[in-house]
Amino acid sequence: MKDKSIELLEKIAASKQGGGEKRIEAQHKKGKLTARERIDVLLDEGSFEEIGGLVTHRSTNFGLDKTKFLGDGVITGYGTINNRLIYVYSQDFTVLGGSLAEAHAQKICNIMDLAMKNGAPIIGLNDSGGARIQEGVVSLGGYADIFYRNTLASGVVPQLSAILGPCAGGAVYSPALTDFILMTKNTSYMFVTGPNVVKTVTNEEVTAEELGGAETHMMKSGVTHFACENELETLNHLKKILSYIPQNCEEKVEHLPYQFNNEDRKDLDDIIPENPNHPYDIKSVINGLIDQDSFLEIQENFAENIVIGFARIAGRSIGIIANQPAVLAGVLDVNASVKGARFVRFCDAFNIPLLVLEDVPGFLPGTDQEWNGIISNGAKLLFAFSEATVPRITVITRKAYGGAYDVMNSKHIGADMNFAWPSAEIAVMGAKGAAEIIFKKEIAGAADPKAKWEEKEKEYAELFANPYNAAARGYIDEVILPHKTREKLIKAFKMTENKKVNLPKKKHSNIPL
Domain residue ranges of the chain, discontinuous segments joined by +: 2-242, 266-429+465-495, 431-464
CB 81 within 8 A of CB 122: no
3-state helix, strand, coil in the chain (%, to 5): 45, 20, 40
- Catalytic residue among 288, 403, 414, 433, which? 403
Cβ neighbours of residue 242 under 8 Å, at least 6 residues apart? 81, 82, 84, 86, 121, 158, 160
Mean pLDDT estimate for the chain: 92
- Catalytic residue among 131, 322, 400, 404, which? 404
| b/e per residue 289-306 (b: at least 16 CB within 10 A) | bbbeebbbbbbbebbbbb
- CA 116 – CA 465 distance, rounded (Å): 51
Q: What is the mean pLDDT of residues 152-178?
A: 95
Which residue type does 50 have?
Answer: E
What does the pLDDT look like over 307-358, one tens digit per residue? 999 999 999 999 999 999 999 999 999 999 999 999 999 999 999 999 999 9
Cβ neighbours of residue 322 under 8 Å, at least 6 residues apart? 282, 283, 285, 286, 306, 307, 308, 356, 357, 358
| b/e per residue 475-501 (b: at least 16 CB within 10 A) | bbbebbebbbbbbbbbebbeeeeeeee
Q: Is 280 exposed, middle or buried (0-12, 13-18, 19+ CB in 10 A)?
A: middle
142 is catalytic: no
Confidence band (pLDDT; 50, 70, 90) for 453?
low
Which of 115, 173, 117, 183 is closest to 145 using CA atoms? 173
pLDDT of residue 99: 86
Same fold, 2-242 and 266-429+465-495: yes
Question: What is the 3-state secondary structure of 75-90?
Answer: EEEEEEECCEEEEEEE
pLDDT of residue 439: 72
Cα–Cα distances in angstroms (integers) from residue 304 to residues 15, 227, 366, in the given order:
46, 15, 19
319 is catalytic: no
Q: What are the two backbone dihedrals, phi and then psi, of residue 312, each rounded to the nearest 5 degrees?
A: -130, 140
Confidence band (pLDDT; 50, 70, 90) for 468?
very high
Homologous superfamily in CATH for domain 266-429+465-495: 2-enoyl-CoA Hydratase; Chain A, domain 1 (3.90.226.10)
pLDDT of residue 208 exceeding 80, the answer is yes
What does the pLDDT look like over 78-113, one tens digit per residue? 999 999 999 999 999 998 888 898 889 999 999 999
Q: What would be the CATH architecture of the domain defined by 2-242?
A: Alpha-Beta Complex (3.90)
170 is catalytic: yes
What does the pLDDT look like over 3-35, one tens digit per residue? 888 888 888 888 788 888 888 999 999 999 999
pLDDT of residue 172 exceeding 80, the answer is yes
403 is catalytic: yes
pLDDT of residue 286 exceeding 90, the answer is yes
Confidence band (pLDDT; 50, 70, 90) for 394?
very high
CB 144 within 8 A of CB 152: no
- Percent share of the chain, pLDDT over 90: 74
- Catalytic residue among 52, 71, 142, 170, which? 170
